[in-house]
Structure 1
Amino acid sequence: MKTFDIVTLTVNPALDKTAHFKGLVPEQKIRCEEPRYDAGGGGINVSKAIARLEGESFCVFTSGGPIGRMLEELVQKESITFEAVKTANWTRESFVAVDDNTNSQYRFGFSGSVISEDEKKEIIQTIQELKPKFLVLSGSLNEGLPTDYYKNIADLAKQSGSKVIVDTSGEALQKVLETGVYLIKPNVGELAKLIGVERLEIDEVVHAAQTLIEKGSAEIIVVSLGPQGAVLVTATQTEFVPAPNVVKKSTVGAGDSMVGAMVWALSQNKILKEVVQWGVACGSAATMNEGTQLFKLEDAKRLFDWLQKK
C-alpha cells in the first residue's frame, strides 16, 4: 500500500446536511429547500482541506449503516484515499438550517453512537500499522469512549515516530496533553480551561500558551483569536497573523480548514510563519462559503498572498 505523510483519524464522523428555509415559526411545518450533503467530522474535513490544497492524506474514519455508506461515497468523490472502520451502529448525522429571511444559521449536532470494544481495537490497530509522519486526531469522541482514547492513540503514534496534531476539546484534549503532542489549536476559551483559569485577555494568550509548552504539553500551540486572526507560539517563537476582512457566510468547517492547511504546510516544510498564514487564509476562506463546503483554493491563495504582504 502507498505510504502517506499525513493520516487523519475521525472516530465520530457525521453526514452533514445543509438546507435553506424562509422564516422560523414555532409549531408550524417549515418548508426547506433541497438539502446539500457533505462528509463531515474533524479529520475528514482536515483531509478535504488538504485535498483542496492539492496535497494528499490517508483518511481513517468509522462507518456504520446506510448513512456510513453515503459518507464513504462522499469522501470518495473528493478523491481522498481512505479506510472505513465498519461499526455495527449507524454513523450520525448533523443538520445546518439557514433562514434566508434573516441569514441566521441554526446548527444541530448529535452525539455519536457507541463503539464496541472490537471496533475500538480495530481503529487503534489501523493507525498503528500506518506510521505516518503526521497523525491528526480531530473531532469529538463517541458516546461511551473513554476520555483518554486520543491519549492512548497519541502514546502509540509517538512511539512510531509520528508527530501528533490534536484538534478536540474538553477532557479529551486535557488528557492527550498529558502525553505531550506536536501541535494543538485551541481557541482562547479552550486555552483558558487548559491552564485552569476562567478567562484570558488577548495580551495574556502568549504567556498562557508558553506555560503549556514549558510543561511539555505541546511543541507548537496555535491559538485561534476568531475575527482577530491567530497566534502561533513555540518555546522560542511567536507569530501573530491577522484575519483578512471577508464577507462571512458560515463558520462551519473554518477550524478544520485551518488545521488542514497547517498540516499541509508543515508537510511541505514551510516556515512556521507561513504555516500559520496558510491556516488563517484557509480558515478565513472557508467562512466565505455556505454550509459545510470548506474553502475554494483560489480564495485561499488570494488571502495567503494578502497576508504575506502584511
Structure 2
Amino acid sequence: MSDVTILAPSPTLTVTVEDHPQGSEIHVHAGGQGVWQARMLRRLGVSVTMCCVLSGEIGRTLRHLLEDEEITVVAVEREGRGSAYVHDRREGQRNVIAEEEGDAIGRHEQDDLYGAVLRSSAESTAVLLSGPAGDATVPADIYRRLAIDLRGEGRSVIADLAGERLRAVVEGGIDVLKVSHEELRSDGLVREPSVPEITHAMQHLREQGAGAVIVTRASEPLLLLDEHGVIEVSLPRFEENETRGAGDSLTAGVVAALIRGESLRDAVSLGAAAGALNVTRHGLGTGDAEAIVQLRESVQVRELPQFDADAEMPQGRVSPDGLAALAETEEP
C-alpha cells in the first residue's frame, strides 16, 4: 500500500487556456486541494493513494490523469456531474469561463468512500484529510468520524481544512491541523492577523483537539504551535506567479518529512520550502524535489514568546500583555 492515503472527496478537472506565440495553448489536468497535495508528495518521492468520488465523463477523465501521475486511485464511481472549471489566462490573469462544483455525494456513496479510506489507510503511515470542491459536496461530520476511527487504528492524521470541516475534525481529534490566517478570520477565530491573536486561536484549537497547529500567513512567516510552544518559520520572498496551491504544497512537504521520521518542527521547514517554490510556477502542487531540498537550507526558524491563552481580546483588540509580546517578536 501507499505511504500516505489522501481523502479527496471530489477532485476537479481543470482546463486552462494560455497564450502561445502561435495561438492558444490548452492545458487539461486533475486539480483541487487533495490532488495538489498528492502531486507534491509524488514529487518528493512519497507514494500516495487517493480516495475520492469520480462522477460521469469528468470522473473517467480524471482517473486517467491521476493514474498518469502515478497516484493510486481508489474511487467510488457514479454518473452525474463532476467538479470542473475552465479558466482563460491568455491576458496574464485568471478569467473564469465556467466553474462547476459537481453533484453532492449521496448517502450510500459517502458510506463507500468512508470504507475506502479505512481500507486504503490500513498500511499507510499517515492519512491526509483534504476538502471537497464545494461546501455542499459532503457533510462535515464525515471528517469528525474519520478522525476518531483513523486515530483509533493508530494512523497519524493530518488535516488541511477550514469552516465546518475544521471544527468537525478538531472535535474528532487530529495530530496536525494546517489552516491559513484568512480562513481563521473567515471562521471568526481571529479579528485581525496579529501574532498574539493568531496564537490565541491556535491555542484554542489545541485545547479543542488539535495536537499541533500550523497557520500560514500569505507572504508573512508561518506559525507552528505544538506542545513545546510557538515557532516562526520564514523564507526569502519570491515574485509570485500563482499563489493557489502553495498552502497545499506546504502541507504535502510537512507530511513527506513526517513519514520519513522527522519531528514536526523539522518537517515544517520542508513544507515551507515546497510552498515557497510553488508560488513561482504555473503548475499547482509542482516543483523540483532537489530545488525544494536546497531551498530548505534557507528556511529560518525562531522561537516566539508564549502568549496568554486566557487573555481577553474583545472587538479584535490585543491585550496589553499581547502587545508587549508582539513588540518582542518584531525585527528591530
TM range (shorter): 0.7 to 0.9
The one-character-per-residue Cα deviations of 1:91-135 (angstroms, maximum 9, x if unpaired) are 2112333243xx333456432312222211110111122323311
Query: Do the aligned partners of residues 197 and 280 (structure 1) sit closer, same or farther apart at CA in structure 2, a change above 3 Å counting?
Result: closer
User: For residue 193 of structure 2, what is the amino acid of its counterpart?
Assistant: L
Distance in 2, matches of 1:203 and 1:99, equals 42
| 1:200 corresponding residue in structure 2 | 193
User: For residue 226 of structure 1, what is the amino acid of its counterpart?
Assistant: A
Q: Is 1:289 the counterpart of 2:281 in the alignment?
A: yes
Is the 8 Å Cα contact of residues 252 and 291 (structure 1) preserved in structure 2? no
Q: Is 1:171 the counterpart of 2:161 in the alignment?
A: no
User: For residue 35 of structure 1, what is the amino acid of its counterpart?
Assistant: I
Per the TM alignment, residue 197 of structure 1 is displaced from its structure 2 partner at its CA by: 4.0
Q: Is 1:105 the counterpart of 2:122 in the alignment?
A: no
Question: Which of residues 186, 196, 219 in structure 1 aligns to 2:179?
Answer: 186
Question: Which of residues 102, 125, 128 in structure 1 aligns to 2:115?
Answer: 125
| 2:105 corresponding residue in structure 1 | 115
> When the two structures are superposed, what TM-score results if normalisation uses the length of structure 1?
0.87
Q: Is 1:160 the counterpart of 2:153 in the alignment?
A: yes
Query: Do the aligned partners of residues 293 and 204 (structure 1) sit closer, same or farther apart at CA in structure 2, a change above 3 Å counting?
Result: closer
Helix, strand or coil at the partner of 2:70: coil
Is the 8 Å Cα contact of residues 13 and 30 (structure 2) preserved in structure 1? yes
The one-character-per-residue Cα deviations of 1:147-173 (angstroms, maximum 9, x if unpaired) are 212112222212212122111221121
Larger radius of gyration: 2
Query: Do the aligned partners of residues 179 and 245 (structure 1) sit closer, same or farther apart at CA in structure 2, a change above 3 Å counting?
Result: same
Distance in 1, matches of 2:157 and 2:186, equals 21
Distance in 1, matches of 2:234 and 2:301, equals 12
**Matches of residues 228-307 of structure 1 in structure 2 within 5 Å?**
228-292=220-284, 294-307=286-299
The farther-off stretch of 117-126 and 192-201 is 192-201
Per the TM alignment, residue 77 of structure 1 is displaced from its structure 2 partner at its CA by: 1.3
Structure 2 unaligned blocks of 5 or more: 303-332
The one-character-per-residue Cα deviations of 1:177-230 (angstroms, maximum 9, x if unpaired) are 1112111111113234556443331343223212221x2420111100110131
Per the TM alignment, residue 273 of structure 1 is displaced from its structure 2 partner at its CA by: 2.7
Distance in 1, matches of 2:271 and 2:191, equals 27
Question: Which of residues 30, 35, 58 in structure 1 aligns to 2:49?
Answer: 58
Helix, strand or coil at the partner of 2:101: coil
Q: Is 1:135 the counterpart of 2:133 in the alignment?
A: no
Per the TM alignment, residue 144 of structure 1 is displaced from its structure 2 partner at its CA by: 5.1
Greater percentage in strand:
2
Distance in 1, matches of 2:268 and 2:219, equals 15
Distance in 1, matches of 2:155 and 2:73, equals 19
Q: Is 1:212 the counterpart of 2:202 in the alignment?
A: no
| 1:26 corresponding residue in structure 2 | none
Per the TM alignment, residue 9 of structure 1 is displaced from its structure 2 partner at its CA by: 0.9
The one-character-per-residue Cα deviations of 1:43-92 (angstroms, maximum 9, x if unpaired) are 22211111100111212121122211111111111112221221222321
Helix, strand or coil at the partner of 2:109: helix
Structure 1 unaligned blocks of 5 or more: 23-31
Per the TM alignment, residue 309 of structure 1 is displaced from its structure 2 partner at its CA by: 9.5
Q: CA RMSD in A?
A: 2.4
Query: Do the aligned partners of residues 269 and 36 (structure 1) sit closer, same or farther apart at CA in structure 2, a change above 3 Å counting?
Result: same
